[in-house]
Amino acid sequence: MNYLLALIPAIGWGIMPLITGKIGGSTINQMFGIGAGATIVGLVAFIIGHPTVTTTGFWFSVLCGALWTIGQIGQFVSFKRMGVSNTIPLSTVFQLVGNSLIGVIIFGEWRGARALTIGFIALAIVIVGALMTSVTDQSSGKKVTVQNFLFLLITSIGYWVYSAFPKMPMVANDSSLGIFLPEMLGILLGSVIYAICSGNIDSFKQKEQYLNIWGGISWGIAALAYIFAGRALGINTAFVFTQMNVIIATIGGILVLHEHKTRREMSFTIAGIIFIVAGSILTIFA
């Protein structure tokens, strides 16, 4: 049952970029939509569950949610620079490697020589898969450049904080439902701060700002399921399952958003996805 629960984020997070891609709008519009939609899910969960949360847990959750926006802003910007089908596989790898290292170094999730060996072999396979998906031809539109690669890597720090969040000592004694709403409020707060600081107040008058809430609802449902899965299965295992969204988002970017790929690029992309999925699954046995 816990493994089925961990697949919900894979579906929700895989569909989200397709929804926001179809709706369109600026990065500001998409980021606010995620924050507002996720907060709606958080309010519904709070009303139904009537959870409690400590003061420390509340404010730490808000902070983690706000930091998460860094990762999502980086992803939305990368969608426009590289396309969804190029961004998602790379983002998946950055998140998997970062969270695996956090799990090992901070939470001691891979213990012993055997676990460490399997774990790092799995990560190597995933990295090879990511490099394969990033192969681009001169004739294609959106390319993976060194600048775009580094930008996505640096902004992924926000995702690392979020993924490690369910097992942080500051929220260890709070219920999953209790920390969910304040975290979603943090995401909404972060998106509003981003809009204001970037000088885009007029974005609140644009319809795309609110249509993108549908993408936020999809993301929020996935995020709620991830909190429970992370506590039940551990960060590494839960995260591996959630990152199966790479299949939905990458193929969806090509078929639904009509992102162009040459035959050679498509061959490398499919092979890369297989490597990413295989390496991700292998981390479970570490």
Give dist(CA 84, CA 133) in Å, integer.
11
Mean pLDDT of 113-120: 88
Give dist(CA 265, CA 15) in Å, integer.
22
User: What pLDDT score does 43 carry?
Assistant: 97
User: What pLDDT score does 233 carry?
Assistant: 77
Q: Among candidates 9, 156, 37, which has minimal Cα distance to 91?
A: 156
pLDDT at 81 over 60: yes
pLDDT at 84 over 80: yes
Contact 75, 155 (CB under 8 A): yes
CB-based contacts of 174, cutoff 8 Å, min separation 6: 52, 53, 54, 57, 61
Give dist(CA 189, CA 35) in Å, integer.
8
User: What pLDDT score does 11 carry?
Assistant: 92
User: What pLDDT score does 228 carry?
Assistant: 82
Query: Among 72-81, 131-140, 271-280, where is mean pLDDT lowest?
Result: 131-140
Coarse DSSP helix, strand, coil percentages of the chain, rounded to the nearest 5 percent? 80, 0, 20
Q: Is 113 exposed, middle or buried (0-12, 13-18, 19+ CB in 10 A)?
A: exposed
Task: Give the model confidence (pLDDT) of 262-271 as tens digits.
Answer: 889 899 999 9
User: What pLDDT score does 143 carry?
Assistant: 75
**pLDDT tier for residue 139 given thresholds of 50, 70 and 90:** low
Classify 76 as helix, strand or coil. Answer: helix
Structure pTM? 0.83
CB-based contacts of 28, cutoff 8 Å, min separation 6: 191, 194, 195, 198, 200, 203, 209
Our CA angle for 185, 190, 196, nearest 5°, is 125
Our CA angle for 40, 45, 51, nearest 5°, is 130
Task: Give the model confidence (pLDDT) of 30-65 as tens digits.
Answer: 999 999 999 999 999 999 999 999 999 999 999 999
How much of the chain, in percent, has pLDDT values that exceed 70? Answer: 97
Task: Give the model confidence (pLDDT) of 168-218 as tens digits.
Answer: 888 878 888 899 999 999 999 999 999 999 999 999 999 999 999 999 999
Tracing tokens 């998409």 back to the chain, one arrives at 30
Give dist(CA 52, CA 102) in Å, integer.
28
User: What pLDDT score does 108 carry?
Assistant: 79
**pLDDT tier for residue 85 given thresholds of 50, 70 and 90:** confident
Give dist(CA 31, CA 39) in Å, integer.
12
pLDDT at 140 over 60: no
